[in-house]
Each structure stands twice: as structure tokens, then as C-alpha cells.
């Protein structure tokens, strides 16, 4: 895939009607936004378009209305918050690409901003229905995709509309594509990938693709025990994906053939059961991964693994991290995840974090500012690392 895509700076937007797909899928409670982070993140692109005198038409989905007009998922709350942040009125359309939206779009003046209703109010959105794509396109002259979190979906507002309009990236998508694209296509070496999280099967293809690229692959978190089991160790009550043992063996063999160093944890924190509730106080012991007692389960990497993983991360020039090293939601079991986050924060390598929970962990633990790039898209960043073509990016014009 070509990562060299045109951005808003590569196209003339002055006086043009610009349809900009944002990620305004913000959390709400009782009709109020509980975090406006995603709206704030979209501001640079929107402000650029305003400053250049574009007529700005914003759109996004929110939640999963599945084609139904659910009032609690109206983007009106986003328009209100965005108006405050921009210090100017954001015109709210009463529909997505219907009569009201079209009339309001036609009346826009340079520098005006309007917001369409929740794109998923229309059934055709998630089916990438050409009728909806055409309706959306009919309101604008240019399409800007600034929503990385939905870039792995071929929907009308994320990709389909680009069949009918010149399409470029906004600043958020540009940043994701240039940093992650460079890491995969032309990384500064040593290139180390750290994978964790709960399920091997979720990350099968990532492991396979990363083995083609990296110098060292580190596997921690719940995934590690399936690999350890595949090596013939008993892992007690730890999470094991018994259908994936052969796959793990294949990946270990592939690493050997490719000369990739594959690191598994040498020790682990174990307890007799999973904490319930997840942040309940828990008594753990640290044991070597070759000697996990039959009645125990591994819930975090141990101190020796922490030191080894952190050392490998610090020696790297490029690090990609996806998936926590343990049940980081519990303070006693967060040590491995903290050690890795700390190593990335201390490193002067290009450090990239993808995956919803790993990104949340970096933020909760206070390391976010010291990471080069925290991807805004969990699923999208995973597909990116898998080497898949993302429809919302593939549809943009090449430079
Ligand atoms: P991401 O969202 O970053 O891609 P995942 O969703 O794959 O990460 O995995 C995150 C989850 O994995 C967390 O909820 C964490 O508690 C869980 N987890 C990590 N290590 C273990 C383990 N050893 N046993 C069970 N669950 C684990
Ligand atoms: Mg997750």
C-alpha cells in the first residue's frame, strides 16, 4: 500500500465546499459529553479549513444506531461543544444528506462550518451504499478523511464518497499514516514490536506480518501463555487458546528462519484466580514460566521479563506496541505494562502505541506525552500493522 497520500495542504480548499469525515464518536452520559478529546483532536484540521476560507461540512457517526433515528445518538451535542471550542456557531443539519443538509450546505459562506447528523442514522452508511455516497458527495467539492478510527471500514462516509470527489487526508489521518507507514515500510533499526493483550486469535495476522519486518518480537500479556504451552511448558490455569498451538509453533519457526529474535516472558506473576472485581486486591507470587504451578494462572509478566523487555525496547530505534503485558486494570498486575510504558517513554526511539487498551494504559499511567505516537484507532491500527489496505486511506489521492 502507498502511504504517500495527499493531505489538505496539497489541495486548494479556498471557497470550496469540503466534506470532512471526523471521528466524533464521543462517549456521552445523560445527554452530556463525558470526554471531548476526539472533538479537540479534530480542531487543527477544522481550523485550517476555516482559515483557508473553505465551506466546511463535517460528518461522523456516533454509537450504533443501525439505521434508526435514535435521538440520544444525535450529533447536536457535538455541534454545541464544537461551537464553544471554535468560538463560532456550528450549523447543525436536521438530517444526514437530506433536504435540510443540502439546503444548508448550499447556503454556506467561506469559513462557515456545519455538521451533518449521525451518518449511521442511514442504513446505507455501513453498507457503503452508492446512493448515500452520491448524496453526500453532491453537497461538496472535496472530501477530507480525518477519521482514522473508522479507516478500516468501507462505509459511505469513510470511503464510498471518494468515488465521486477528490479525496485527501486531514491532519489526524496524515499523522497516523506517515508515522505508522514509515515504521512499516522503512523503519529505523533495530525495530522491536511488543505484543500483548488477551487473545492470540485477535492478533494472528499481526504476528505473521510483523515477523516480516521486525528485528525483535516480544510477546507478553495473555497471549504469551499459548506460546509457552506451544513450547511444551505447563501453564496451569493461564489463558490458553488451545486451537492456536500449531499456529504459535509455526510463528516460532518462522521467527527462526527470518532471524527474528522472539522473546517470551521468562517469569510471570501468578494467582489462584482472576481478580473479581478486576481491581480487587490480589495476592500474587512470581515464578519462572518453566514452573507455573498447575493450580495457578499467569496474570502479568514477572520482574525478570520486565527488565528484559524494557532493555530490548530501550535499545531499539523503532518500537511498536500493541496490547498490555498483564491485567493492567489491577494495580498489582499493572507492573509489566508500566515497565514497558516506562521503557518506551524513556527511549529516544520512534515509539508507536496502537490498540485501545494499550493506549488507555499509557494515558492512565501518565506516559502519553512521552510516546511519539498513540494511534487513535484500535482496530484500524491493528489492521494497519497487519499490512492490510485500509479502505479509508486507500481511497485518498496519491501524492
Ligand atoms: P488492546 O486493546 O491494546 O489491543 P487487548 O484488547 O488485546 O489490547 O487486550 C487487553 C486485555 O488483555 C486487558 O483487558 C487485560 O486485562 C487483558 N490481559 C492482559 N494480560 C492478561 C492475562 N495474562 N490474562 C488475562 N487477561 C489478560
Ligand atoms: Mg482491547
The DSSP string of 47-90 is HHHHHTT-EEEEE---S--TTS--GGG-THHHHHHHHHHHTSPE
pTM: 0.89
Q: Give the other-Cβ count within 10 Å of 357's Cβ.
A: 18
| pLDDT number for residue 364 | 86
Give yes or no for residue 265 CB within 6 A of ligand 1: no
Per residue in 81-105, pLDDT (tens digit) is: 999 999 999 999 999 999 999 999 9
Give yes or no for residue 298 CB within 6 A of ligand 1: yes
Please, which pLDDT band fits residue 247 given cuts at 50, 70 and 90? Answer: very high
User: Which is the closest atom of ligand 1 to the Cα of 268?
Assistant: 23
* Cell output for 4: 504517500
**Ligand 2 centre from 225 Cα, in Å?**
18
| pLDDT number for residue 209 | 92
Sequence-separated (6 or more) residues with CB below 8 Å from residue 30: none
**Ligand 1 centre from 280 Cα, in Å?**
17
The angle at the Cα of 184, spanning 7 to 159, to the nearest 5 degrees, equals 40
* Cell output for 179: 508515522
User: Which numbered ligand comes closest to the C-alpha of 323?
Assistant: 1
Residues with CB under 5 A from ligand 2 (ion): 356-357
Share of the chain above pLDDT 70, in %: 100
Q: Which of 12-16, 41-45, 185-189, 243-247 is least confident?
A: 185-189
171-185 vs 378-385: helix crossing angle, rounded to 10:
30
**Ligand 1 centre from 379 Cα, in Å?**
14
Per residue in 168-211, pLDDT (tens digit) is: 999 999 999 999 998 888 899 999 999 999 988 888 889 999 99
Please, which pLDDT band fits residue 278 given cuts at 50, 70 and 90? Answer: very high
Higher-scoring residue by pLDDT: 111, 389: 111
Mutational test site, ligand 1, from 301, 305, 324, max ligand atoms within 8 Å of CB:
324
User: Which numbered ligand comes closest to the C-alpha of 325?
Assistant: 1
The DSSP code for 392 is H
**Ligand 2 centre from 319 Cα, in Å?**
19
pLDDT (average), residues 350-360: 90
Mean pLDDT, the chain, rounded, equals: 95
Give yes or no for residue 324 CB within 6 A of ligand 1: yes
pLDDT (average), residues 140-169: 97
| pLDDT number for residue 3 | 80
pLDDT at residue 219 tops 90: yes
User: Which is the closest atom of ligand 1 to the Cα of 324?
Assistant: 19
User: Which is the closest atom of ligand 1 to the Cα of 203?
Assistant: 7
pLDDT at residue 330 tops 80: yes
pLDDT at residue 386 tops 90: no
3-state secondary structure of 147: coil
pLDDT at residue 216 tops 80: yes
pLDDT at residue 71 tops 90: yes
Return the residue whose CA atom lies nearest to atom 5 of ligand 1.
197
pLDDT at residue 69 tops 90: yes
Give yes or no for residue 329 CB within 6 A of ligand 1: yes
Share of the chain above pLDDT 90, in %: 88
**Ligand 1 centre from 323 Cα, in Å?**
6
| pLDDT number for residue 379 | 85
| pLDDT number for residue 307 | 98
pLDDT at residue 324 tops 90: yes
Burial of 245 (0-12, 13-18, 19+ CB in 10 A): middle
pLDDT (average), residues 111-129: 98
Give yes or no for residue 236 CB within 6 A of ligand 1: no
Closest C-alpha among 106, 90, 5 to residue 39: 90
| pLDDT number for residue 184 | 87
Cβ atoms of 129 and 156 within 8 Å: the answer is yes
Please, which pLDDT band fits residue 225 given cuts at 50, 70 and 90? Answer: very high
User: Which is the closest atom of ligand 1 to the Cα of 197?
Assistant: 9
Q: Which of 24-28, 349-353, 385-389 is least confident?
A: 385-389
pLDDT at residue 320 tops 90: yes
Amino acid at each position: 500500500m502507498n502511504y504517500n497520500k495527499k493531505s489538505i495542504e496539497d489541495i486548494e480548499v479556498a471557497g470550496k465546499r469540503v466534506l470532512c469525515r471526523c471521528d466524533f464518536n464521543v462517549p456521552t452520559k445523560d445527554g452530556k459529553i463525558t470526554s471531548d478529546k476526539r472533538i479537540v483532536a479534530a480542531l487543527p484540521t477544522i481550523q485550517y479549513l476555516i482559515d483557508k476560507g473553505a465551506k466546511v461540512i463535517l460528518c461522523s457517526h456516533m454509537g450504533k444506531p443501525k439505521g434508526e433515528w435514535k435521538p440520544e445518538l444525535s450529533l447536536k451535542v457535538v455541534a454545541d461543544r464544537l461551537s464553544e471550542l471554535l468560538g463560532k456557531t456550528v450549523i447543525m443539519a436536521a438530517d444526514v444528506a437530506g433536504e435540510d443538509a443540502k439546503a444548508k450546505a448550499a447556503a454556506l459562506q467561506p469559513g462557515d462550518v456545519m455538521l451533518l447528523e449521525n451518518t449511521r442514522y442511514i442504513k446505507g452508511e455501513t453498507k457503503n451504499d452508492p446512493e448515500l455516497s452520491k448524496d453526500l458527495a453532491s453537497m461538496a467539492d472535496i472530501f477530507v478523511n480525518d477519521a482514522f478510527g473508522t479507516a478500516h471500514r468501507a462505509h459511505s462516509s469513510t470511503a464510498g464518497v471518494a468515488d465521486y470527489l477528490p479525496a485527501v487526508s486531514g491532519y489526524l489521518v496524515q499523522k497516523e499514516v506517515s508515522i505508522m507507514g514509515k515504521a512499516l515500510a522503512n523503519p529505523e533499526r533495530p525495530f522491536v514490536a511488543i505484543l500483548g493483550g488477551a487473545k492470540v486469535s485477535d492478533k494472528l495476522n499481526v504476528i505473521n506480518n510483523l515477523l516480516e519486518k521486525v528485528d525483535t518480537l516480544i510477546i507478553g500479556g495473555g497471549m504469551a501463555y499459548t506460546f509457552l504451552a506451544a513450547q511444551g511448558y505447563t501453564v496451569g490455569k493461564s489463558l490458553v487458546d488451545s486451537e492456536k498451538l500449531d499456529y504459535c509453533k509455526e510463528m516460532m519457526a518462522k521467527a527462526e528462519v527470518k532471524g527474528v529474535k522472539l522473546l517470551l516472558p521468562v517469569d510471570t506473576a501468578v494467582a489462584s484466580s482472576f481478580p473479581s472485581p478486576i481491581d480487587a486486591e490480589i495476592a500474587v507470587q512470581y515464578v519462572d514460566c518453566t514452573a507455573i504451578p498447575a493450580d495457578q494462572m499467569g496474570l502479568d509478566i514477572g520482574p525478570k521479563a520486565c527488565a528484559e523487555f524494557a532493555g530490548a525496547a530501550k535499545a531499539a530505534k523503532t518500537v511498536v506496541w500493541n496490547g498490555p503485558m498483564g491485567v493492567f486494570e489491577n494495580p498489582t498486575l499493572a507492573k509489566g505494562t508500566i515497565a514497558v510504558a516506562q521503557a518506551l517513554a524513556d527511549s529516544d526511539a520512534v515509539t508507536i502505541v496502537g490498540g485501545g487498551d494499550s493506549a488507555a494504559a499509557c494515558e492512565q499511567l501518565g506516559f502519553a506525552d512521552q510516546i511519539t505516537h498513540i494511534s487513535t484507532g484500535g482496530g484500524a491500527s491493528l489492521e494497519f500493522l497487519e499490512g492490510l489496505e485500509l479502505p479509508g486511506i486507500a481511497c485518498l489521492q496519491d501524492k
